[in-house]
Amino acid sequence: MTLPRFALTPGEPAGIGPDLCLLLAQHAQPYPLIAIASRDLLNERAAQLGVAVRAVAVTPEAWPDAPAPAGTLYVWDTPLHSAVVAGRLDSANAAYVLETLTRAGLGCVNGHFAGMITAPVHKGVINEAGIAFSGHTEFLADLTHTHQVVMMLATRGLRVALVTTHLPLKDVAAAITAERLERVTRILHADLVSKFGIAAPRILVCGLNPHAGESGHLGREEIEVIEPTLERLRGDGLNLIGPLPADTLFTPKYLEHCDAVLAMYHDQGLPVLKYKGFGAAVNVTLGLPIIRTSVDHGTALDLAGSGKIDTGSLQVALETAYQMAESR
């Protein structure tokens, strides 16, 4: 049986993404992993890092059937638009970054890849090139014609999905509508079943307000929006516990018996997750017809080419993508 292949995009070429790919390639992977990147860039960065990794060119006409041995990285060569200096952004390469994502995303849609793993991009430099770009998630949603996606971060022993993501705190309450909460919850439940192999997911749901509103004395969103929506979803068979106060939900009493936490906003759930799994967490995009995982950190331009980086988050992103493909 042919092993499933996975695509790896190094992200911003001046950042640590190429370094991560090279350092990772020092160790064998269980599946064929194909970096979609400039082969010249990887060779130059390997020389800068003093890493003995051989970049082997592969193409869609002759995909490898076996994992690369340690010290070898399969590369689907994607030409740069401008020479790269580690740590120095260049908007001329914005189109290159998007080409790597397009090749990976369409490769997943067409069945060439079982999933894609992404290193960090730099949104600002892509926008400076005159290209409207708000992030991997939105780009891949457009590429796959997906109307709604959900952001979930995970580390060993904890998964946290978000109802709202990058919103000012003053706008969060208005954004938590019954329609949005239902849509996000259904996507979370469906992907836990289909992509993580959990037959009957148990999901803990945070309240929005302190003490989950304390019976309306500290806010009425729980009474008017969250509780009725959860009750309606329970009627369809979803196993939802809450809304619970966030300050007590994130304790062993609750977390030991749950498959995921649904937080109402970014800084309600993610500080706990990053405290638990800093350097070993992964960003998973739910709702896509493909598997996509990512590191949970940025481009770290100041560390590019230095060799002083930790590959932990990328390793977890790879492991998560492999597990999701196996569960599927």
Known binding residues are: 136-137, 166, 211, 266, 274, 283, 292
DSSP SS3 for 285: strand
Packed helices 17-24 and 39-49: angle between N→C axes, nearest 10 degrees? 80
What stretches of 50-177 show up as alpha helix (H) in DSSP? Answer: 94-109, 123-128, 136-143, 172-175
**Which positions make up the binding site for substrate?**
136-137, 274, 283, 292
Torsion sign, CA atoms 159, 164, 170, 174? negative
What stretches of the chain show up as alpha helix (H) in DSSP? Answer: 17-24, 39-49, 94-109, 123-128, 136-143, 172-175, 178-194, 221, 227-234, 246-249, 252-255, 266-277, 312-327
Which residue is associated with the tokens 């598997």?
Answer: 291
Instruction: Tell me the residue type at 221.
Output: E
CA-to-CA distance for 305 and 282, rounded, in angstroms?
23
Nearest to 293 by CA among 19, 104, 67: 104
Query: Which residues on neighbouring strands pair with residue 160, listed in sequence order?
Result: 153, 261
Helix (H) or strand (E) segment spanning residue 203: strand 202-206
For residue 243, say if its preceding peptide bond is cis, omega within 30 degrees of 0.
yes
**Which positions make up the binding site for a divalent metal cation?**
166, 211, 266
Q: Give how far the C-alpha of residue 249 lies from the chain's centroid of Cα atoms, to the nearest Å.
A: 24
CA-to-CA distance for 282 and 153, rounded, in angstroms?
6
Q: Which residues of 182-200 are buried (b: 16+ CB within 10 A; e: fewer)?
A: bbbbbbbbebbeebbeeee
Nearest to 263 by CA among 238, 286, 243, 283: 243
